[in-house]
Homo-oligomer: A and B are copies of this chain.
Amino acid sequence: MEKKVISKAVINRLPRYYRYLGDLLEKDVVRISSKELSERMKVTASQIRQDLNNFGGFGQQGYGYNVEYLHSEIGKILGLDKKYNVIIIGAGNLGQALANYADFERRGFFVKAIFDVNPRLVGMSIRGIEIRLMDELEEFLKTNEVDIAALTLPKTQAAQVASDLAKWGIKGIWNFAPTDFNLPKDVTVENVHLAESLMKLSYRLSVKEKEQQEKEQQ
């Protein structure tokens, strides 16, 4: 069987296509040309066609894309036609923010439990989701099918918890701690490094500031 390897750059763009198509759906747009989509997304039309051709195309020359169909097909590629059971580890502000984000459910991600080391939080619940003590985590994973663990822990604790999770069979980790893990290959880790994102912003601001200063000196 021939297998096409999809580049990381294409995969990085897919969720954005999905988001734009979702916005169009909300506005009851039925059909869109790659040109129109490209203007909205600020990506060239040929880039869009190339990206989508990786998955078979979905469009007819001169006829545009059916928004609902394309949205649903990209959703399938992204694995959004399945349901994922999620646990959140760390019930601080960030963990609570994730638990409160109802949009995740709409896309098939269901938060089943929140864990924290702080006994004072135990028994509380967020949107009906109970906060449990970390001590219960192993037992919970034995009796519940969990696909993804979101880690909103300090970096000092995150590595140990991540390797425990791997040992207990978790295959997907959504990591918010500012650290990278050494985990078996069958565990998929997606990192959200907030501090690094902020540094990219400060980099770009300081480059612009330098350019401005150089202009003024000329």
Report the interface size class on chain A: 35 or more
Mask of A175-211 contacts with B, CB within 8 angstroms, 1/0:
0001110000010101011111111111111111100
Q: Is A68 engaged at the interface, CB distance under 8 Å to the other chain?
A: no
**Neighbouring B residues of A101 by C-beta, 8 Å:** 194
Q: Is A64 engaged at the interface, CB distance under 8 Å to the other chain?
A: no
**Neighbouring B residues of A110 by C-beta, 8 Å:** none
**Neighbouring B residues of A148 by C-beta, 8 Å:** 201-202, 205
Q: Is A147 engaged at the interface, CB distance under 8 Å to the other chain?
A: yes
Q: Is A112 engaged at the interface, CB distance under 8 Å to the other chain?
A: no
Could you tell me if A78 and B14 are in contact, using CB atoms closer than 8 angstroms? no
Q: Which of A1-58 contact B (CB under 8 A)?
A: 11-12, 14-16, 18-19, 23, 41-42
Q: Is A169 engaged at the interface, CB distance under 8 Å to the other chain?
A: no
Among B16, B147, B174, B194, contact of A196 (Cβ-Cβ < 8 Å): B16
Listed by A's residue number, 25 A-B pairs whose Cβ atoms lie within 8 Å are A11-B203, A15-B199, A15-B203, A16-B196, A78-B206, A79-B205, A79-B206, A79-B209, A84-B202, A93-B94, A93-B97, A98-B194, A108-B202, A147-B205, A148-B202, A171-B208, A172-B201, A172-B205, A174-B197, A174-B198, A186-B208, A188-B205, A190-B197, A192-B192, A192-B194
Where the two chains meet, the residues of A that have a C-beta atom closer than 8 Å to any C-beta of B are 11-12, 14-16, 18-19, 23, 41-42, 77-80, 82, 84, 92-94, 96-98, 100-101, 103-104, 107-109, 147-148, 171-172, 174, 178-180, 186, 188, 190, 192-209
